Chain A
Amino acid sequence: MIQIDAYKMLQTADGELPLAISLTIEKGQFVAIYGNSGAGKTTILRILSGLTDAEKVNIKVGESIWDDSEKKVHLPVQKRSIGFVFQDFALFPNLTVKENLEFALSKNDSKEIVEELIDLMELQSLQNSKPQNLSGGQKQRVALARAIVRKPEILLLDEPLSALDDDMRFKLQDYILKIHQKYQLTTLMISHSIAEIFKLSDQVIVLDKGKIIKEGTPATVFSEQKISSKFQLTGEIISITKSDVVYIVQISSGNNIVKVIATEEDAKEYRIGQKVLVASKAFNPIIQVLI
């Protein structure tokens, strides 16, 4: 169990913003953090990893205290059992993939884990390459493997996939899930993609202006009300076009774009960029076998 209580005044473009959160995470859970830019998402991960100080902070991981600002307890970064991957996390350019992983080992660690991770993350053919010869997705795969070398209890991911194209994202999501399960990690991931959150996480926290405004399973957080319809997808409105007396609303969801008819009254409530749930009854869709 991880218990985090933190208060920190953030300096943002719009002035000061107090970040005040209290969060309990069960061991082994995959938790997504979702919210607008500047809501304080990255700051939470940095406070948890010990990279950023907070005015008031209390972090307890299992039985050990990582932070207690009242008692002036602050465990240094390197003593926290954490692996992290950021969007632009740099690899050492002069070391090969394998050397990058080995470099992350502690002095007395066995090198077995490096071999195991090279297998698991399917890096065999890349292990002797330098980072400059790798694609963005390959680099992130190495960064993920490197974050796990010390077998941390907690994995922190700050939008690790946001710079990648969809195909690469989907593959990397599978790798993330694989290591999360195999090493029984507790994972916290910042993500802007609802589809990604649905695929990976058990719990999601929605952060707005430094406060947690919602938390729960992705299904309960992202579907405002439970509707009986069994044909559902979540997505984002990308266009609203008037057509005769109705409106055609285009919604992008993962790799798909769907169109839905809406009345004028309903269309007035919609705006581009809005996250929506699209639902239809199980009785309507037709299945056609491909190939």
Chain B
Amino acid sequence: MNVLNGIITEIRSNEGISLVKVKSNTFTFSSIVLDTPETVNYLVKDNVVQIIFKETEVIIAKDLNLAISIQNQIPCRIASLKKGIILSQINLVIQDSDQSIQSIITTNACEQLDLKENDKVLALIKTNEVSLSAHD
């Protein structure tokens, strides 16, 4: 589980759904939740929250300039790789920060992209894969 701390910078709500921007160090995440500031008390601008997303939902791109719908495109450096037969775990460090996140992709994909340590990549996470949790 990838868990990062962040600060809510923007909330846009309509009919029960909110698009929330959360800044964590150098990167601002977008998350979509089925809540609004009226239904939960943690959805407040400047509030500290946890940003949570699963490793298996982190897509890796080598091309750093993508015309793609995915909103969370995080520039990262590959710190290390752990290759399995079917799946591989890629340990990433977010650019200009010391925050690490993990991605799990198929070993096939890892080989097709020829991923290596210190490669600069984009970690891509769809807005609807990012959960938020009230910070305790």
Residues of A within 8 A of B (CB): 224-230, 244-246, 261-266, 279, 281-283
Contact = CB atoms under 8 A, between A and B. Distances in A.
Given A226-B134, A227-B52, A228-B131, A263 B40 contact: no
15 contacts: A226-B40, A226-B42, A228-B35, A228-B40, A228-B132, A230-B34, A245-B83, A245-B88, A245-B89, A246-B87, A262-B1, A263-B1, A263-B89, A264-B89, A266-B1
A286 B128 CA distance: 15
A244 B87 contact: yes
Interface in B78-132: 82-89, 102, 104, 128-129, 131-132
A263 B101 CA distance: 12
A246 B54 CA distance: 12
Interface string B39-75: 0101000000010101110000000000000000000
By secondary structure, the A interface counts as loop
Interface of B: 1, 31-35, 40, 42, 50, 52, 54-56, 82-89, 102, 104, 128-129, 131-136
Given A245-B104, A246-B104, A282-B34, A225 B136 contact: yes
A285 to B, nearest CB: 12
Nearest to A223: B133
A225 B87 contact: no
A279 B56 CA distance: 14
Interface centre among A226, A230, A262 (most CB of B within 10 A): A226
A262 B2 CA distance: 11
A281 B128 CA distance: 7
Nearest to B81: A245
Nearest to A282: B34
B86 A244 contact: yes
Given A224-B136, A244-B87, A263 B102 contact: yes
Contacts of A244: 84-87
Nearest to A245: B84
Given A263-B55, A263-B104, A282-B34, A227 B132 contact: yes
A281 B84 CA distance: 27
